């Protein structure tokens, strides 16, 4: 007999509910779904009829507790869903919507500097040369090992860094240089990306020169008037010429820009380490061939209108010391403290700290960032230019005191801080007067007792050759200034420093006419070379202020282990007050988070100001400081008033100064010096022969 449709519907529903009840541990025979259309065979008694129409009790099917695995899966799924949803919105949303939302929150947005100045009538005038700094320029592969198959012509550095995540050890092998030659290892060729795209963005969405280039375009600049002086920032400066002829290419392109713009001189914009690279270039280009470019003593005067140095580490940066000594800076040390041992462990064959140190120590250009000028510039055991030290009774057994002179603004309280001690092996030694410190002369301690199993150390660190006695001697020296820090690095890494010392120098010249200063190792040190004979040229130092900047470190000896880095920043050490300059084992001063003010500002404030032995032709110099202000809201991104080392390239006030100069203005036209710090007062405390 054909059953009606309602029968099948009720039958299916009954079976489904029965299955669910069995799944939750109930007996489906005790309850049945009521439906008057179900046909029966025979007569049921009254009790069965009542059971037939009994309504089942609602059960809580979600009463089972979630396990940790369930929570993890749900969280990962939630994050992935949000990510894909945001990615969808990003790719489908009209460009005007974020701007509309921002305007609704903050009001009308200010015009970018290029748009503002175009309305005032400014137009493109002098051609512009951009010189990127360390790590911000892209690098691409032109020959590699088998593990790098398929990467020919693709970026290894910059962009998405996708290959780092896919094959980290292969990536490290290709991005590192040869430990002995300072060039690419055999069978590997990594070369700088060329064109404006070489350093417009460091990674997707993270601008470097892109904002500057966009604003130059607003007043009429095109690619024919702009040149990105890309170079391999890993190589020593002279080696970029030997391998890639990078200095020759810069010379040729500047000459081409001047020739194709009616003889108008170029304005050069170096950033970060690019500042030192261009100092090297100016000396190289006037040096006779074959040692130099053969341009003659008046080449710079004929081709360069102004050099606007941005975030200039003229005299180096203490960060470089920590990186060479223990591959740490403030943020890395804090991460290490939060996850002890994680970055030292062999995770999938990637011992993070050791491999990072090995890679960093092959990049010869980083030696240029070691502080220059010794204790004369950076301070000694009991003084520093940023603080005024009062030592009335050191011999009577009382500690000297240091008072805040106001130069740090709201950065931190400098009371009791001696920035001259770049490395101290405890907070006590950082604060104790030098007359009470007994130090061991580590330089003559033999390195005979190598660490156990050091023969298995296949990572080029040199620490495994020191031994426990030598490590103890380094710590027992207690404090290191800029005058002794080079001795320390030569002791713990003699092979490394031997290579670095052949390319860079860190002293102060007694006699700049001494023929030895014609060697290229001195050309990037402004205290050991002269500026070119170009009296009409201008030099600017444009740098950020108002941000805590690493100035010194408290170290400790790490627990001994095979092939380890034996020294670590002691993140457990803080100052005595909440606003102390000492936090997490790091002393902070004023600057742009990377370069202290004394390094960025001294040369233009005093060393080159007027006619000096470092500036014999009297090139005019200007200090322009940009006080940091955080973004007004999240939609503003990295901010338009940032004083941070890289974000400064998006600072509207700095970009406006640049645009006015490239359009023809002089330093006096834009207001001359503009400073918020005590750079001129600090510079006067530095006793140097001018």
- Residue 323 reports pLDDT greater than 80: yes
Whether 628 is catalytic:
no
Q: Which domain holds residue 422?
A: 318-387+412-526+549-588
Residues 474 and 489 in one domain: yes
Residues 668 and 680 grouped into a single domain = yes
Catalytic residue among 645, 673, 677, 678: 645
Max mean pLDDT among 166-170, 173-177, 395-399, 463-467 falls in 173-177
- 3-state SS string for 104-119: HHHCCCCCCHHHHHHH
- Judge whether 555 lies within some domain: yes
Q: 261 lies in a domain?
A: yes
Is cis: bond before 79, omega within 30 of 0?
A: no
Q: How many domains does the chain have?
A: 2
Nearest CA to 689 out of 377, 313, 362, 235 is that of: 377
Q: Do both 434 and 417 map to the same domain?
A: yes
Verify that 543 and 656 share a domain, yes or no.
yes
Q: Is there a domain that residue 394 lies in?
A: no
Q: Is 174 a catalytic residue?
A: no
Give the angle 410-414-417 at the CA atoms, nearest 5°: 155
Of 224 and 466, the structure prediction assigns the larger pLDDT to 224
The confidence score (pLDDT) of residue 520 equals 96
> Which pLDDT score, from 0 to 100, does residue 72 have?
74
Judge if 212 and 287 occupy the same domain. yes
| Sign, CA torsion 64/68/69/73 | positive
Residues 379 and 385: beta-carbon distance below 8 Å: yes
* Domain-embedded: residue 161: no
User: Has residue 318 got a pLDDT over 80?
Assistant: yes
CA 610 vs. chain centroid, Å, equals: 33
Are residues 522 and 430 both part of a single domain?
yes
Shared domain for 236 and 382, answered yes or no, is no
- 286 domain residue, yes or no: yes
User: In the prediction, which pLDDT does 168 show?
Assistant: 83
Task: Supply the pLDDT for residue 454.
Answer: 53
Domain co-membership, 277 together with 339: no
CA angle 408, 541, 480 (to 5 degrees): 55
What is the CATH number for 203? 3.40.50.1820
217 found inside a domain: yes
pLDDT of residue 412: 87
Q: Is pLDDT above 90 for 430?
A: yes
Average pLDDT over residues 88-101: 60
Q: What is the pLDDT of residues 267-287, one digit of tens each?
A: 999 999 999 999 999 999 999
Whether 228 and 309 map to the same domain: the answer is yes
Cβ(552)–Cβ(570) under 8 Å? no
Active site residue 476: no
**How far is it, in rounded angstroms, from Cα 90 to Cα 669?**
43
Catalytic residue, chosen from 200, 232, 570, 592, is 592
Q: Is the pLDDT of residue 461 over 80?
A: no
Q: Which of 18, 272, 368, 541 is catalytic?
A: 272
Q: How far apart are CA 113 and CA 125, in angstroms?
A: 16
Residue 122 belongs to some domain of the structure: no
Q: Could you read off the pLDDT of 623-681 as tens digits, one per residue?
A: 999 999 998 766 667 889 999 999 999 999 999 999 999 999 999 999 999 999 999 99
Based on the domain organization, do 578 and 454 belong to the same domain? yes
Show the DSSP H helices in 327-447 as ranges: 330-338, 352-362, 374-378, 427-431
Q: What is the pLDDT of residue 402?
A: 39
Higher confidence at residue 557 or residue 463? Answer: 557
> How do the residues of the chain divide into helix, strand and coil, expressed in percent and rounded to 5?
40, 15, 45
| Mean pLDDT of the chain, nearest integer | 84
Residue 7 lies in a domain: no
**Do 200 and 213 share a structural domain?**
yes
Q: What percentage of residues in the chain have a pLDDT greater than 90?
A: 60
Same-domain check for residues 290 and 375: no
Q: Are 613 and 690 in contact (CB under 8 A)?
A: yes
């Amino acid at each position: 007999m054909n059953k009606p449709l309602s029968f099948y519907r009720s039958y299916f529903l009954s079976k489904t509910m029965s299955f669910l009840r069995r799944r939750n541990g109930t007996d489906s025979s005790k309850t049945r779904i009521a439906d008057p259309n179900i046909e029966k065979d025979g007569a049921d008694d009254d009790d069965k009829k009542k059971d037939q129409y009994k309504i089942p009790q609602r059960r809580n099917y979600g009463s089972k507790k979630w396990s940790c695995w369930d929570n993890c899966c749900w969280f990962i799924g939630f994050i992935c869903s949000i990510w894909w949803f945001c990615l969808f919105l990003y790719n489908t949303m009209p460009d005007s919507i974020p701007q509309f939302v921002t305007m609704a929150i903050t009001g009308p947005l200010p015009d970018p500097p290029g748009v503002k100045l175009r309305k005032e009538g400014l137009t493109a005038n002098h051609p512009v040369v951009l010189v990127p700094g360390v790590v911000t320029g892209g690098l691409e592969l032109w020959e590699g090992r088998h593990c790098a198959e398929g990467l020919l012509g693709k970026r290894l550095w910059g962009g998405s860094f996708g290959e780092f995540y896919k094959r980290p050890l292969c990536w490290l092998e290709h991005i590192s240089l040869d430990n002995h030659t300072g060039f690419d290892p055999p069978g590997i060729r990594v070369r700088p990306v060329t064109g404006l795209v070489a350093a417009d963005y460091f990674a997707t969405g993270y601008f470097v020169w892109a904002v500057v280039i966009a604003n130059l375009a607003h007043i009429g600049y095109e690619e024919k008037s702009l040149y990105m002086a890309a170079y391999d920032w890993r190589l020593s400066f002279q080696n970029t010429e030997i391998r890639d002829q990078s200095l020759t290419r810069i010379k040729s392109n500047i000459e081409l820009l001047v020739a194709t713009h009616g003889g108008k001189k170029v304005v050069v914009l170096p950033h970060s380490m690019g500042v030192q690279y261009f100092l090297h270039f100016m000396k190289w280009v006037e040096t006779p061939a074959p040692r130099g470019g053969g341009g003659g003593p008046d080449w710079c005067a004929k081709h360069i209108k102004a050099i606007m140095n941005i975030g200039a580490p003229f005299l180096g940066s203490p960060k470089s010391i920590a990186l060479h000594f223990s591959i740490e800076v403030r943020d890395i040390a804090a991460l290490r403290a939060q996850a002890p041992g994680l970055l030292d462990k062999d995770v999938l064959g990637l011992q993070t700290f050791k491999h990072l140190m090995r890679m960093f120590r092959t990049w010869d250009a980083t030696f240029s960032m070691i502080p220059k000028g010794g204790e004369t510039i950076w301070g000694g055991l009991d003084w520093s230019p940023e603080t005024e030290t009062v030592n009335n009774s050191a011999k009577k057994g009382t500690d000297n005191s240091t008072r805040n002179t106001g130069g740090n603004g709201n950065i931190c309280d400098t009371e009791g801080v001696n920035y001259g001690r770049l490395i101290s092996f405890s907070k006590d030694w950082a604060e104790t007067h030098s007359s009470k410190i007994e130090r061991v002369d580590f330089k003559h301690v033999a390195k005979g007792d190598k660490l156990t199993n050091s023969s298995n150390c296949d990572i080029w660190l040199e620490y495994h050759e020191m031994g426990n006695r030598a490590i103890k001697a380094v710590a027992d020296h207690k404090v290191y200034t800029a005058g002794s820090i080079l001795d320390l690095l030569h002791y713990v890494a003699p092979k490394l420093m031997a290579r670095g010392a052949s390319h860079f120098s860190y002293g102060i010249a007694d006699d700049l006419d001494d023929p030895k200063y014609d060697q290229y190792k001195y050309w990037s040190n402004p205290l050991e070379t002269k500026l070119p004979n170009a009296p009409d040229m201008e030099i600017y130092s444009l740098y950020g202020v108002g941000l805590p900047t690493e100035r010194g470190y408290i170290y400790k000896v790490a627990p001994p282990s095979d092939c380890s880095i034996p020294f670590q920043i002691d993140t457990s050490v803080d100052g005595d007050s909440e606003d102390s300059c000492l936090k997490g084992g790091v002393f902070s001063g004023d600057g742009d988070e990377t370069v202290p003010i004394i390094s960025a500002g001294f040369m233009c404030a005093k060393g080159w100001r007027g006619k000096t032995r470092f500036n014999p032709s009297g090139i005019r110099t200007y200090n322009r400081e940009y006080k940091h202000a955080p973004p007004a809201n999240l939609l503003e991104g990295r901010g338009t008033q940032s004083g941070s080392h890289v974000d400064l390239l998006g600072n509207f006030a700095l970009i406006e100064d640049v645009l006015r100069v490239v359009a023809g203005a002089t330093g006096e036209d834009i207001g001359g010096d503009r400073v918020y710090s005590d750079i001129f007062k600090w510079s006067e405390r530095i006793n140097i022969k001018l």
